[in-house]
Structure 1
Amino acid sequence: MIRPSVLTAALWLAISSHTHAQATASSAPDGAADAAVTEFDRMQVTATRTERAVADVPNSVDVVTREQMDRQLVFDIADLVRYEPGVTVTSSFGRFGLGGFRIRGLEGNRVRIQTDGIPVSDAFSIGSFSNANRNFVDLDTLKQVEIVRGPTSSLYGSDALGGVVSFITKDPNDYLADGSDAYFGLKFGYAGDWDGLFAGATAAFGGERWSGMAAVSHRQGQEPENQGETGGAGSTRTLPNPQDRDGRSLLTKLVFAPDAGQRFRLTVEGNEDSADTDVLTSQGYQALTGASNDVVFAHDHQTRARVSFAHEWDDLNAAFADSLDWQIYRQDSETTQYTREERTLPAPTLQDIREREFNFDQRSYGVQANFRKRIDGAVTHELAYGLDLVRTETRQKRDGLRSYPLTGVSTPVMLPDIFPVRDFPISRTTTAALYVQDEIVFADGAFRLVPGLRVDHYRLRSDVDNIFAEDNPDMVVADISETSVSPKLGMVWRFADAWSLFGGYAHGFRSPPYNDVNIGFTNVMFGYTAIANPDLKPETSDGVELGLRYIGDAAWASLSGYYNRYEDFIESYVFTGISDEGLAVYQSQNVAEAEIHGVELKAGVDFGALSAAWDGWSLRGAAAWSRGENRTDDVPLDSVDPFTATVGIAFDRERWGSELAVRHAGRKDRVSDPTLFQADAYTVLDLFAHFDFAPGASVNLGVFNLTDRKYWASGDVPLTAAGSSVLDRYTSPGRNLSASLTLAW
């Protein structure tokens, strides 16, 4: 049962939450007022694969604009959803940092992340030294982010079980305003929570037919701050491990427009990040091994590169389509993580050095095509259909070397592993999908019915090389072939001038992942083995959502409720019995069933539309309440966030403005085990200001956690015992300042 505090109740009464939108129209004297009444008029393409205003979308969609990212000093994916209740970014303490998105209680590879329609590589983690995350995008290259909440497999197939986060990068025309043929811009930034420094430069040109752009950036900084106080080396340390971070990105586009209705676009994009960490928390005596770690050093490096060629045709006007777009692409993503341990052991060994290297490499080739056709009559049909073809090769390997400085001997034996090893064979997955969606509009546009269907054929083929075979000599790997059908039915009913109902049903699925199908390792010393499971079924979901929207002259609001039921969740390493050789046998299984339901609210008021005396003042915000149950074990789902809400009150003029933002989270009082840590409720204040001090020159300032509150954010806390002495490791930063300066001409 939720126990709202006085502040929580006040947040609801004030129509909740924060600066969800700050889309200031540059031509208007008061941009904030304009933004308040056009929140649902923002255009999105992710939820329907067609360009539609949010008001015409039958499910919950968040649109984060470039201006909003600038005003709120968004430097990473955690900043991006700071004021989006119901959406969280997960992170880990000590080394690996930000992971991926959690939407309505689902996270990891159950949420699709894409850049310009191209999916970001998978996350994969095994053991303490290996963690490939999905944080591959430089947010300063984006013009918009769209977040679709809930199952979206009817349009995007597998991995959209929990929702979609869609990054949309900038085009040359985003810079070439007012008919100009050239643009050059510089941007500098500072993020106080990790002493991050940013610098970027962008150049763009345009002519009658050709246009192009190049954007480069560099970032560097230190370890993320927390509010721990215990330093030194060893397992009791709560301060962050010292870290040096470095990254860079490149985005280039060349566009050819043979006429006003067509565009050919060549895109080359690259992103690279590195981190060197002195892992002080892993130093000292290790009870499990009997050794003492004198030095633990980590070097982590990840890259993503893609090249794509796209064509958009707006005025095709053919029998099969009025407009179309297609693209072909190749994308390479790689994570390499190196760890060095210098250890002191009991005699006679005395000393050894352990070096481990983890590599996760994913290469994808794909083709996408989308067609749109409008059929007018007594009832209007706006058809969208298309295909997705993608082939992905995934390679994972762990390597290592154990050296003895006193004797000069080296060995790849580091029990329980004899390196190199693969935890699953080289895997090639192919997905071929067709989708169709019909937006049926009738009653003079008052009613919109949106049925849709997608058919996905998924095939996994495994390549057993010598590395995998030597580590798993008796294992027979599995190839699988699955076909999934994902229907949906949505509706939007404008039953009054300012009011509309929206909602519908959606089916979601996730294909059995390659690493679960072909888990592979045998450890005779410790008496266990893992075997393949070719009979894994896809994870599935069935969800319904119903909401009410109001769009008035001075206020807007949206209230929605949802219920999602999930079946056949795949659990890795399930004990299944004892083999003839006496080994404990583990196998991935479809075992879990779950349900998640909740309520979400977004609202805003433009006070200037109520009275000229309040011109420039606005209030906006959001709130999310959810409940999740593991129906297999009859316990709460730990991944479901507590009640969260945000409120922002802003004052804007033509050249300057400010905003006070409030973030609130309830107590994390629903956990699967009552002995687990339950984070306290908290309320945090942030203050923003912006000033356009000259044409093309602006500065943005932000002070976060104004009251220096000590708190634990949901996505930062692992499953930890309530009595743990190191809980302060997972605290969020105290008071800190961020700033950016933009110059353009």
Structure 2
Amino acid sequence: MTATRTERVAADVPNTVDVIERERMDELLVRDLADLFRYEPGITVGIGFGRYGIGDIRIRGLGGNRVRIQTDGIAVPDAFLIGSFSNANRNFVDMDTLKRAEVVRGPGSSLYGSDALGGVVSFITRDPADYLGEGRDAYFGVRMGYGSDWNGLSGGATAAFGGERWSGLVAVGHRQGREPENMGTNDDVEPTFLDGRWVHLRTKPNPQQRDGRSLLAKLLFAPAADQRFRLTVEGNEDSADTDMYTSRGFQQLTMAVNDRVLASDHQTRARVSLGHEMDAVGVHEMDAVGAGFADALDWQVYRQDSETTQHTVEERTLPAPTLADIRRREFNFDQRADGLQLNLRKGIDAGGVRHDLAYGLDVSRTRTRQKRDGLRIFPLTGVETPAMLPDVFPVRDFPNSTTTTAALYVQDEIIFGDGGFRLVPAVRVDHYRLEPEVDAIFAGDNPDFVAVDLTETQVSPKLGAVWHFSGDWSLFGGYARGFRAPPYSDVNIGFTNAMFGYTAVANPDLRPETSDGFEAGLRFNGDAVHASLSGYSNRYDDFIESMAFVGFNEEGLMVYQSRNVAQAKIRGVEFKAGVDLGALANGWDGWSLRAAAAWSRGEDEASGEPLESVDPLTGSLGIAWRGEAWGVELAGRFVGRRDRCRPRPTARPTTKARGTPCSTCTRTGISPRARAWTWVCPTSPTARTGARVRCRWCPGRA
């Protein structure tokens, strides 16, 4: 069980946990993360409209790298986003290879450390035993599928074998299709001039070709009945080619007309791990204190490589004298991770009280590299240049970075009497170190930049309790501390753009993001009915705001720096229930009901504004019938209206204004938060370069 790092039934866990077994995945015809969590209120899978598809998983309003996603205990790579042409997501898992998925809601840092600020999503892959029944020593199966919403074809083959000591499996899969359909009906290709600016009204998805493949191979050796060595090789690869209709037409940011924009995205993840499990360790002739340091243990060493590469080609028409150019961009983000995990378990009986101890260590080292490259081509003259102002490619947005994490954790599940009451304290100590490496590419773009190391030590306590107070009824709840170490991309992000008057600098004083979470709930687990009702309140401090404006330096450049600013509070109520109607009446044999709902509310305590990452009221309801050979289910998902949103500005802001006003509209403005968004009115040269850029506010610019 992910929530306790020990095998426990959900009724004995002191917080809300969702467990989706393989059987349930097959019933839902799960193809991707969106299918997997479709009927789990409070869990949201972000899906991009134009190009990048599935993005992150949000739990109770927090997503991105604030939620730990892991496969067989190994964290999947980070997400990273910068600008319109660069988006490394975390969609690295093939659903067909999974045995089970578990979700821990709320802070999980006491067992999983940094990046578990919002919760933990844990995927467990299949073993050979999952295919081999009693008395069966070989298996071969083929699966095929079709998805009408994306005209997708999927297929795979699995072979497994098992003997007295050796067993193994190989599973391969392939999938291909087109862009997923949505409810959009507007098929416009060109933008429309509306309210003083050019906007795209298209709601249908962009044309896209998608394909992917996966591999899962395992070899198990069991020298004894209570020992297993496991060698795992896993890989996943996805590609997508997109005709970006939503990027065509007049572009207000570049004053050009995009005649065609093509995108090609590719991502891979591969890992090799070697693990060992022992179900019986030490001396067991007597059940007493000190009879060995552990009753059971498991360890694994691993290497995981991931890479995201994205290519974009823009064919553009420009005003004279340039007339036309072609812009080729490439984004690359890759991570290499090595790690060791050790988990030990020990049971101690002492005076009518049993202690189930779980303790261990996690050590990992991750090397992260990111680069943007590009080439601008002028077809009328044949001239090629790497300069696409404000960038001269190649560039890095942060130095190559190595992060090392070493952690120790311990948890004691204290069981009183016959198990009616359980107290679960836990604590984890994490030591985090960031080491940047400034290479020629980063130094060339940032000659005066001084990269900083960062070292943090964090203690994350937790206290939970479960009370089975009456038969199938129980109360649960507790407190958990969460944290997230300052990421490499915020600590050492840096570049200087003198042409447009701004610079970004490092912040060696960034503090970890932290949270304090409280949860309480009521459960009922009967033969025919199960239900759970819980409420939670999470307070988050020191959220990191990337590239916040902090003032001007001696050269008169605007200075941007990541900093700790935000305080937020998210609270909510969640409900889940199921009824086996056949257990209530024989005439309803095979019929069942499912229901769930989640309500949450979040606020930025500094500004009093609502958090838009928090979902409105959501719910799901389903009725199913299952026979011996087949079954059917009717399910619905319901979402309430979002009635709390941040106020929208009535006019375009002129943040950090510089230059003289436009003679037509009297406005002026530079928005350097993103490099390409730089504007100066045509009636005046810029303060530093004398370049003239047409006014962003006036109509009729094409």
Q: Give the structure-2-normalised TM-score.
A: 0.89
Residue identity matched to 2:239: S
Aligned residue in 2 for 1:166: 122
Q: Which moved more, 1:266-275 or 1:611-620?
A: 611-620
Q: Which residue of 1 aligns with 2:260?
A: 295
Alignment partner of 1:477 out of 448, 451, 462: 451
Instruction: Tell me, yes or no, if structure 1 residue 142 matches structure 2 residue 98.
Output: yes
Q: Could you say which residue in structure 2 is the equivalent of 1:3?
A: none
Among candidates 253, 271, 282, match of residue 247 of structure 2: 282
Q: Which residue of 2 aligns with 1:425?
A: 399
SS in structure 1 at match of 2:40: coil
Partner of 2:371: 397
**Once structures 1 and 2 are overlaid, which stretch shifts more, 153-162 or 291-300?**
291-300
1:62 corresponds, among 18, 23, 39, to 18
Amino acid at match of 1:149: R
The DSSP-based 3-state class of the residue aligned with 1:52 is coil
Whole-angstrom distance in 2 between the partners of 1:577 and 1:281: 36
What is residue 420 of structure 2 aligned with on the other side? Answer: 446
Query: Mapping of 1:186-201 within 5 angstroms?
Result: 186-201=142-157
Asked whether 1:230 is paired with 2:203, we answer no
Q: Does 383-392 or 89-98 show the bigger shift?
A: 89-98
C-alpha distance in structure 2 between counterparts of 1:169 and 1:621, whole Å? 27
Root-mean-square deviation (CA, aligned residues, Å) is 1.0
Q: Take 1:570 and 1:288, find their aligned partners in 2: how far apart are those partners?
A: 27
| CA–CA separation in structure 2 for the residues paired with 1:552 and 1:64 | 19
- Provide the secondary structure at the position in 2 that maps to 1:179: coil
From 341, 345, 348, the counterpart of 1:372: 345
Partner residue, 1:535: 509
Task: Name the residue aligned to 1:72.
Answer: 28
Tell me what 1:265 maps to.
230
Secondary structure of 1:468's aligned partner: helix
Q: Structure 1: which 5+ runs fail to align?
A: 1-44, 677-745
Answering whether residue 108 of structure 2 is matched by residue 152 of structure 1, we say: yes
Residue aligned with 1:193, SS: coil
1:409 equivalent in alignment to 2:383: yes
Greater relative contact order (Cα < 8 A, sep 6+): 1
Shift of 1:675: 6.6
Q: Alpha-carbon deviation of 1:674? A: 5.4
Distance in 2, Cα, partners of 1:443 & 1:501:
17
SS across alignment from 1:495: strand
Task: For 1:646 and 1:285, locate their aligned partners in 2 and report how far apart those are by CA, in whole Å.
Answer: 42
Measure, in 2, the Cα distance between the counterparts of 1:490 and 1:225. Answer: 44
Local SS of the residue matching 1:306:
strand
Percentage of identical aligned residues:
71
Partner of 2:168: 212
Deviates more, 1:277-286 or 1:245-254: 277-286
| CA distance in structure 2 between the aligned counterparts of 1:442 and 1:618, rounded to whole angstroms | 35
Aligned to 1:356: 329
Q: Distance in 2 between matches of 1:79 and 1:587?
A: 39
CA–CA separation in structure 1 for the residues paired with 2:590 and 2:282: 44
Match of 1:35 in 2: none
Would you say 1:244 and 2:209 are equivalent positions? Answer: yes
Check if 1:562 corresponds to 2:536.
yes
How far apart are the structure 1 equivalents of 2:255 and 2:66? Answer: 39
1:583 pairs with 2:557: yes
2:575 corresponds to: 601
Report the CA distance between 1:230 and its aligned residue.
2.0
Q: Which of residues 643, 668, 684 is equivalent to 2:642?
A: 668
SS in 2 for 1:178: coil
Q: Distance in 2 between matches of 1:227 and 1:445?
A: 52
Q: Secondary structure at the match of 1:494?
A: strand
The one-letter code of the counterpart of 1:247 is G
The one-character-per-residue Cα deviations of 1:179-235 (angstroms, maximum 9, x if unpaired) are 200000111111222111100100000100000000000000101111222224223
Q: TM-score, normalised by structure 1?
A: 0.84
Distance 1:356 1:78 in 2: 30
- AA at the equivalent of 1:199: G
Deviation, structure 1 residue 295:
1.5
Amino acid at match of 1:599: V
Tell me the alpha carbon deviations over residues 469-491 of structure 1, each in whole angstroms, 9 at most, x when there is no partner: 11111111111000000000011
Q: Deviations over 1:77-128 (max 9, x none)?
A: 0111000000000121110010110000000000000000000000000000
Aligned to 2:699: none
Q: Give 1:680's aligned residue.
A: none
**Partner residue of 1:382?**
356
Q: Report the AA paired with residue 66 of structure 2.
A: R
Letter in 1 for 2:425: P
CA distance in 2, matches of 1:101, 1:358: 23
Rounded Cα–Cα distance in structure 2 between residues aligned with 1:664 and 1:636:
22
In structure 1, C-alpha distance between the alignment counterparts of 2:355 and 2:431, rounded to whole Å:
27
- The residue type equivalent to 2:545 in the other structure is E
Separation of aligned partners in 2, 1:229 and 1:491: 51
Deviation at 1:289, TM superposition (A): 1.9
> SS in structure 2 opposite 1:449?
strand
Structure 1 residue 349: deviation in Å? 1.1
Structural mapping, 1:514-663, within 5 Å: 514-663=488-637
Matched residues, number: 632
Post-superposition CA distance 1:536-563 (Å, at most 9, x none): 0000000110011111222111100101
Q: Which residue of 2 aligns with 1:327?
A: 300
Task: For residue 518 of structure 1, report the CA deviation from its aligned partner.
Answer: 0.7
Alpha-carbon deviation of 1:653?
1.5
- Who is 2:675 aligned against? none
Distance in structure 2 (CA, Å) of the matches to 1:373 and 1:228 = 56
Residue 611 of structure 1 deviates from its aligned partner by 1.4
Which residue among 91, 114, 117 is the counterpart of 2:47? 91
1:440-463 Cα shifts (integer Å, max 9, x gaps): 001211011000000000000000
Gaps (5+ residues) in structure 2? 191-199, 284-291, 651-702
Query: What letter corresponds to residue 481 of structure 1 in structure 2?
Result: T
Equivalent residue number for residue 693 of structure 2 = none
